[in-house]
Amino acid sequence: MARASFRTFAKNLDVTDLRWMPDKGFSPARLRIELLSGLTVALALVPEAVAFAFVAGVHPLVGLYAAFIVGLITALIGGRPGMISGATGALAVVMVALVAEHGVEYLFATVVLMGFLQVFAGVMQWGKFIRLVPHPVMLGFVNGLAIVIFLAQLSQFKVPGTLENTGHGMGGGEWLSGQPLALMLLLVAATMAIIWVMPRITRAIPAPLAGIGIVAAVVIFFGLDVPRVGDLASIQGGLPSLHIPMVPLNWETLEIILPYAIILAAIGLIESLLTLNLVGDMTGKRGGASQECIAQGLANTVTGFFGGMGGCAMIGQSMINVKSGGRTRVAGIAAAVFLLLFILVGSSVIELIPLAALVGVMFMVVIGTFAWNSLTILRKVPLTDAFVILLVTVVTVMEDLAVAVVVGVIVSALAYAWNNARRIHAKAYTTPEGARVYQVQGPLFFGSSDGFTELFDVEGDPSEVIVDFADSRVVDQSALQAIEAIAGKYEAQGKRIQLRHLSPDCHRLLNKAGHLMVDSDDDPDYALAVNYSVRTGVLGGH
């Protein structure tokens, strides 16, 4: 089955999604935009990777190596050019318990297994199920994520050297106050203002990069005493080297890492596929879900063997890239390469960048990510959809993205089932021959099966009853059981019941369940219509 799924995936792979150039080809101006966009993303990746490494309880280089390797591989073969991947907080908060209890080597082994699971999901083309996520869930997702990104930046407003790992994010420490806080806020506001004004002056340089560069130059030139990247941790290091996770290869190890790997794989794929949809909406591109699953899986597998903490798509950095003009794989590759250069030779310069500039960039991402129109449509959409938007937003902030999306999909599915359950009804009339006909309308499934049985007057009906399914559909086993139940009631009263106008798929479902055993193809309108007599067991075509 897996081999057949892989052949189907390879056959349907859209090679245009692997292109290196935009539709109109590369020009020097386009190349400049892609490279500058990648540089902007790389600068924004540094504090995020370091902070998430702290959250997971590992060395900052473990987060930086993950950002480089995951970002590079997904940029090369991912499902959507323009997406940025790296170490994320959604995964870090799951990793912290594993690292605290078993050590970092078990984390590396878990990341490798996580990658295998994601590759398997891609080969089986499970990524297509992301289309089941309703629009209200997507709105709640982006709103909640915008709030999470905003809250994550607040840790930068603490006194350098006092940050602590609480297991749920950067916590503890002392907040800035007085003049240091005022200066920090002033620089954040200045960065945001530059990003807002810059596109109105020129688009030759991405606005976020201009904001970071101008504010950093001011801080360095005047020697302002503000928190800088170097205050978080030193990012200096060497090339990532091959490292086989030092864990026992036995069943006990698998029992430890498998639950974490499943959770991490699910969270990583959900966040990546939702980001893929969001970037697709902004760039006008669709598809690539299964390809993205495989790319994420390969990236995490390689990362685990090179001492990285794993990762997934990053919506904040993806928004920075897209809004800075990055549209091809060059921008993502450039971001990864620039990040590696920062680690190898540019750490002394990057560590001088004020955190306020990077916070300002992320605050503009928050403003651009939050679906502000959702605030106005809450009173216009159905109450259930409004509830789902708010629920997903709150759960995203309180728990994590994966839990929020799953909860949102479940609530939406239950609401859909309830609405469809209320649609079941029937038009009843008596034929000249004295038979009672029930024209069932609406889907017959587990949610409407009780309502279906309430449509019939078993005691008051004549000896001949016809149930017409021309405007209905038998969906599941509960529906079959409901048909059997009502047929049994008529049989107990000594009455004959017929089933008519069952659609082909309904007929196959009944056949599979062993209820109908004869095919009939003589109905010109519905391709299949059957009469089933419960008393005689005779099936006839109509």
**Nearest-CA neighbor of 299 among 67, 50, 39, 61?**
67
Contact in structure between 190 and 219 (CB atoms under 8 Å): no
Residues 6+ apart with CB under 8 A from 512: none
What is the C-alpha R_g of the chain? 29
**Nearest-CA neighbor of 338 among 46, 541, 540?**
46
Q: H or E element: which one contains 496?
A: strand 496-500
Q: What HEC string does 233-287 produce?
A: CCCCCCCCCCCCCCCCCCHHHHHHHHHHHHHHHHHHHHHHHHHHHHHHHHHCCCC
Q: H or E element: which one contains 146?
A: helix 135-153
Identify the DSSP state of 82. T
d(CA 202, CA 77): 32
- Structure pTM? 0.75
d(CA 110, CA 254): 9
Q: H or E element: which one contains 85?
A: strand 85-86
Question: Considering Cα of 55, then 59, then 60, then 65, what sign does the dihedral take?
Answer: negative
For residue 144, the number of C-alpha atoms closer than 13 Å in the C-beta half-sphere is 28
Record the tokens describing residue 155, joined without a space.
Answer: 């840790």
Domain boundaries defined on the chain: 2-7+28-177+228-350, 383-420, 423-541
Rounded to 5 degrees, φ, ψ at 462 are -70, -175
Q: H or E element: which one contains 436?
A: strand 436-444
Identify the DSSP state of 99. H
What's the pLDDT at 10?
45
CATH-assigned architecture of domain 423-541 = 2-Layer Sandwich (3.30)
d(CA 480, CA 507): 11
Residues 6+ apart with CB under 8 A from 232: 47, 50, 51, 60, 160, 163, 355
Residues 6+ apart with CB under 8 A from 366: 146, 147, 149, 150
Cross-strand pairs, 426: 440
Q: Can you say how many angstroms the Cα of residue 244 is from the centroid of all Cα atoms in its chain?
A: 30
d(CA 172, CA 165): 8
Work out the widest C-alpha separation in the chain, in whole angstroms.
Answer: 99
**Nearest-CA neighbor of 155 among 412, 359, 307?**
359
**Nearest-CA neighbor of 438 among 422, 450, 452, 419?**
452
What's the pLDDT at 17?
43
Record the tokens describing residue 132, joined without a space.
Answer: 């089941």
The SS3 call for residue 526 is: coil
What's the pLDDT at 21?
52
217 burial level (CB within 10 Å; 0-12, 13-18, 19+): exposed
d(CA 260, CA 253): 12
pLDDT tens for the chain, residues 1 to 542: 445 444 544 444 444 444 455 555 667 888 899 999 999 999 989 888 888 888 888 999 999 999 999 999 999 999 888 899 999 888 888 898 899 999 999 999 999 999 999 999 999 988 888 888 888 988 898 898 889 888 888 888 887 654 444 434 444 568 888 999 999 999 999 999 999 999 888 888 888 999 999 999 999 999 999 999 888 888 899 999 999 999 999 999 999 999 999 989 988 998 899 888 888 777 667 668 889 999 999 999 999 999 999 999 998 889 889 888 888 899 999 999 999 999 999 899 999 999 999 999 989 988 988 888 888 888 888 888 999 999 999 998 888 777 888 899 999 988 888 888 888 889 999 998 889 999 999 888 888 888 898 899 988 999 899 888 888 888 887 888 888 888 888 888 888 888 888 767 666 666 665 544 333 343 333 333 344 444 444 333 33
Identify the DSSP state of 396. H
In the numeric block, the tokens 């991405």 are attached to: 206
